[in-house]
């Protein structure tokens, strides 16, 4: 689909979708809908490129746009029209439409800056030359990978045994008993099992010249899903499973089966169903397991839980309502002192052992609590918050509105860098292509997570697979380059 055709198609699809969604939500007309509608058109322009024939589905820009449709447009409308989602803070907000509208305008300007920046960066003459290309030695992969799988399995088994079994492990999670404290390094290793396994299987089948059919891919992904649940999924982390599924799908896409547009639609449906269903486990794992065992009805579980589709779309897959709160807070709390980058420095401290930390920086839980509870209350009680503020929200905690637009420029540069890395690795048949799907996921994480969550997620998920790829790859000097005008 040409760019000229994408414009009217995007406007048409956006208009039909927007009007229908407002009708379903029974939303009242208000000016805040105007920036949301314009944002939808811009995002839809990127998203429809997914349907271009011959294009790789695993490209960061259209995937980010698809995610952004809920993040920037759907979630704010739901939040306005569902009173059960409203958050109470020290600054009581009665006119949510005003603050959602204000943050919608800010995000719209940010998205425009993002689009312009991406096009400027992309039009520069691009020359990328890898000094060394990583070619995977399959013999080493099977040898080292098998050893690593055994270690991962032993550590995961140790985790369950030390908790008193899987059932006790789930109970400990439900009671938030602190069972998982100081176990990060164990999870980092043990939960690498599914990705290492799928990588080894895909490389093996590719070497045999085997191409999979769609039903075979579905079976493999179902098995991967179940394995992923065992390795990390029972800790109540939906992201562990979802990001793992996306990563596994990417590995399959570049080895055995090119995913089609219908597969993307099925994948989105699966993510929605899983995220919603798993929300009940996360909220009350005991009742959820009782439903699985058949001793409690689904209706009873739903009635006793606060989980809903709206809660998932707003609370889990968006941060715009939190960002509206931050905007309101920094506008009304004259005593609030900006972090001036301290939350980012605190996030970097995650990489340093506690015993080696020289300066103990205050993190986003401290500054976020000031916004939600008031500066004087936090200084008196030392209370914190577990809220996640996202890219724009954390930027406002640190610098107010000063760096909101620049962070969108940074996002454009990261998306461009990841896309160019994909092109480079594909042309050079570089083994690092197999970490690329997780880099695409990181684009979504940048938008929806804070810097501490982002660093933890990337370090935890990428460290072991990247070390394995380094160990099993033959580094050859590269004399080819890629040029693009």
Structural domain of residue 302, as residue ranges? 135-315+404-484
Residue 360 dihedral angles phi and psi, to the nearest 5°: -95, 95
Decide if 382 is inside a domain. Answer: no
What are the beta bridge partners of residue 476?
133
Distance CA 27, CA 110 (A): 25
Unique residue bearing structure tokens 């029974």: 26
Unique residue bearing structure tokens 């990428």: 462
Decide if 391 is inside a domain. Answer: no
Q: Domain count for the chain, please give it.
A: 1
The answer, yes or no, to whether residue 484 has pLDDT greater than 50, is: no
- Pairing mode, strands 482-484 and 126-128: antiparallel
The answer, yes or no, to whether residue 81 has pLDDT greater than 80, is: yes
- Within a 10 A sphere around the Cβ of 380, how many other Cβ atoms? 10
Q: List all residues 6 or more positions away from 252 whose beta carbon is below 8 Å from its beta carbon.
A: 198, 202, 212, 217, 220, 221, 259
Least Cα distance to 313 among 97, 50, 67 occurs for 67
Q: What's the full length of the chain, in residues?
A: 485
For the record, the structure tokens of 421 come out as 């890395």
Distance CA 102, CA 92 (A): 17
Q: Using CA of residue 266, residue 272, residue 276, residue 282, what is the dihedral sign? A: positive
Distance CA 73, CA 22 (A): 11
Average pLDDT score over the chain: 86
Range scoring the smallest mean pLDDT among 32-46, 51-65, 162-176, 405-419: 162-176
For the record, the structure tokens of 363 come out as 């993190």
**Could you read off the pLDDT of 316-357 as tens digits, one per residue?**
889 999 999 999 888 886 678 899 999 999 999 888 876 677
Q: Quickly state the pLDDT bin for 404 (edges 50, 70, 90).
A: very high
Give the pLDDT score at 51: 74
pTM of this structure = 0.88
Contact between residue 389 and residue 329 where contact means Cβ atoms under 8 Å apart: no
Give the pLDDT score at 418: 95
For the record, the structure tokens of 1 come out as 């689909």
Distance CA 253, CA 259 (A): 6
Contact between residue 390 and residue 450 where contact means Cβ atoms under 8 Å apart: yes
Burial class (CB within 10 angstroms; exposed 0-12, middle 13-18, buried 19+) of 392: buried
The answer, yes or no, to whether residue 180 has pLDDT greater than 80, is: no
The answer, yes or no, to whether residue 296 has pLDDT greater than 80, is: no
Least Cα distance to 111 among 46, 60, 18 occurs for 46
DSSP-assigned letters across all residues of 291-331: HHHTSS-HHHHHHT----HHHIIIIIT--HHHHHHHHHHHH
Q: List all residues 6 or more positions away from 441 whose beta carbon is below 8 Å from its beta carbon.
A: 243, 246, 247
DSSP-assigned letters across all residues of 93-147: -S-HHHHHHHHHHHHHHHHHHHHHHHHHHHHS-EEE--SEEEEE-HHHHHHHHHH
Range scoring the smallest mean pLDDT among 52-66, 347-361, 454-468: 347-361
The answer, yes or no, to whether residue 276 has pLDDT greater than 80, is: no
The answer, yes or no, to whether residue 128 has pLDDT greater than 60, is: no
Q: List all residues 6 or more positions away from 170 whose beta carbon is below 8 Å from its beta carbon.
A: 234, 285, 286, 289
The answer, yes or no, to whether residue 485 has pLDDT greater than 60, is: no
For the record, the structure tokens of 429 come out as 């048949």
**Could you read off the pLDDT of 436-455 as tens digits, one per residue?**
999 999 999 999 999 999 99
Torsion (CA) 47, 49, 53, 54 in degrees, nearest 10:
-100
Residue 232 dihedral angles phi and psi, to the nearest 5°: 110, -25
The share of the chain scoring above pLDDT 70, in percent, equals 86
**Percentages helix, strand, coil for the chain, rounded to the nearest 5?**
70, 5, 25
């Amino acid at each position: 689909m040409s760019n000229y055709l994408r414009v009217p198609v995007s406007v048409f699809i956006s208009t039909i979708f927007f009007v229908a969604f407002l009708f379903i939500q029974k939303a009242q007309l208000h000016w805040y809908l105007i920036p949301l509608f314009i944002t939808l058109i811009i995002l839809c322009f990127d998203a429809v490129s997914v349907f271009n024939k011959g294009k790789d589905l695993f490209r960061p820009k259209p995937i980010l746009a698809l995610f952004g449709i809920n993040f920037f447009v759907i979630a704010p409308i739901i939040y306005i029209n569902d009173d059960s989602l409203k958050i109470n803070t020290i600054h009581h907000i009665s006119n949510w439409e005003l603050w959602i509208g204000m943050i919608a305008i800010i995000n719209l300007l940010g998205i425009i800056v993002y689009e312009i920046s991406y096009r400027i960066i992309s039009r520069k003459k691009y020359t990328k030359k890898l000094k060394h290309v990583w070619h995977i030695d399959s013999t080493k992969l099977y040898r080292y990978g098998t050893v690593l799988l055994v270690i991962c399995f032993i550590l995961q088994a140790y985790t369950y045994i030390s908790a008193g079994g899987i059932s006790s492990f789930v109970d400990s999670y439900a009671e938030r008993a602190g069972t998982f404290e100081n176990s990060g390094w164990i999870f980092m290793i043990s939960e690498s099992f599914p990705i290492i396994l799928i990588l080894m299987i895909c490389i093996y089948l590719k070497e045999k010249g085997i191409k999979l059919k769609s039903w075979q891919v579905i079976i493999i992904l179902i098995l991967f899903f179940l394995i992923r649940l065992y390795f990390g999924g029972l800790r109540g982390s939906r992201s562990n499973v979802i990001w793992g599924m996306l990563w596994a799908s990417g590995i399959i896409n570049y080895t055995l089966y090119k995913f089609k547009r219908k597969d993307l639609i099925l994948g989105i449906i699966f993510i929605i169903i899983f995220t919603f269903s798993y929300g009940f486990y996360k909220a009350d794992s005991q009742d959820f397991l009782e439903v699985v065992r058949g001793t409690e009805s689904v209706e009873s579980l739903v009635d006793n839980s606060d989980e809903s589709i709206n809660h998932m779309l707003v609370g889990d897959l968006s941060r715009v309502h939190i960002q509206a709160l931050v905007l309101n807070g920094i506008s009304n709390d004259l005593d609030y002192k900006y972090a001036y980058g301290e939350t980012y420095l605190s996030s970097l401290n995650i990489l340093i052992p506690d015993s080696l930390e020289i300066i103990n920086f205050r993190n986003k839980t401290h500054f976020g609590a000031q916004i939600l509870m008031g500066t004087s209350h936090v200084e008196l009680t030392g209370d914190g918050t577990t809220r996640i503020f996202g890219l724009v929200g954390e930027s406002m905690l640190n610098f107010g509105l000063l760096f909101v637009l620049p962070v969108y420029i940074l996002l454009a540069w990261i998306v461009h860098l990841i896309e160019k890395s994909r092109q480079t690795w594909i042309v050079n048949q570089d083994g690092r292509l197999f970490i690329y799907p997780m880099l695409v996921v990181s684009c979504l994480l940048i938008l929806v997570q804070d810097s501490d969550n982002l660093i933890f997620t990337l370090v935890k998920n990428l460290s072991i697979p990247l070390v394995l790829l380094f160990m099993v790859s033959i580094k050859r000097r590269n004399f080819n380059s890629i040029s693009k005008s």
